[in-house]
Homo-oligomer: A and B are copies of this chain.
């Protein structure tokens, strides 16, 4: 089909820097997020730039490819991802747009967000999990936030932590770490008030936004490392994202934990792409780069 006036995201003039981070060697559950950068890109670039309320997106992604990770080597990979992220951030800043990353398991955010945190950004995470574990042995994508906060004292907020998905010590440790929480149950009981609280928590700040796709209920996001039975709906996510992008200055965005191989319908990468694009367009809209 040839529609001469159609446009796809992949055809727009490149502006927003984007990098993939195909690392999933920190996963304790179902691995496979290493294939997400490729799967999410395919969906992202075939979307059109028309939003019904935000209007037409004029700019596309400046795809810097995947970070050259070293499978199995967490130290060297971490070093390279932080370095790459710094470069992506600088390009983004010079253009006045957010930087975008596609994981990978959630441990990558400990690397991708570092340069932003060092520059004063706080963290907002959509996630069913607190990700503040401390292991005696082995790996997990569920400890990165604790490590990040301990290392940088960054102000962090997690939206969507879900029932029966976190260790019992999570709330008290979050409090110790100074991590704010808006739980999935809180959103369910009074969505409007929760959004108000969200707004007050992020208003005016510089934010790195991390979207772990398992914050969604498994019916909407079956293709993740650890599916969430009572997670959020994508409609709630969209509202949450809108509040963040319109109240804060979003400087970096990632989407993580998509495992394409366990989602035969391809719906999880497609939804990841749509939510990511909404976040990007909302961020641009609020910084007047349209």
Q: Could you tell me which A residues sit within 8 Å of B by CB distance? A: 1-7, 9, 24-26, 28, 30-32, 34, 47-53, 56, 70-74, 133-140, 142, 161-171, 181, 183-186, 188-189, 217-220, 222, 227, 229-230, 233-235, 238-239, 261-262, 264-267, 270-271, 273-275, 277-278
Contact = CB atoms under 8 A, between A and B. Distances in A.
B140 A3 contact: yes
8 contacts: A1-B137, A5-B167, A25-B25, A51-B164, A52-B186, A70-B137, A71-B140, A230-B271
Copies per complex?
Answer: 6
A164 B280 CA distance: 13
B229 A267 contact: yes
Contacts of A72: 25-26, 72, 74, 138-139
Contacts of A219: 219-220, 267
A163 B278 contact: yes
Given A7-B168, A164-B274, A2 B51 contact: no
Nearest to A4: B136
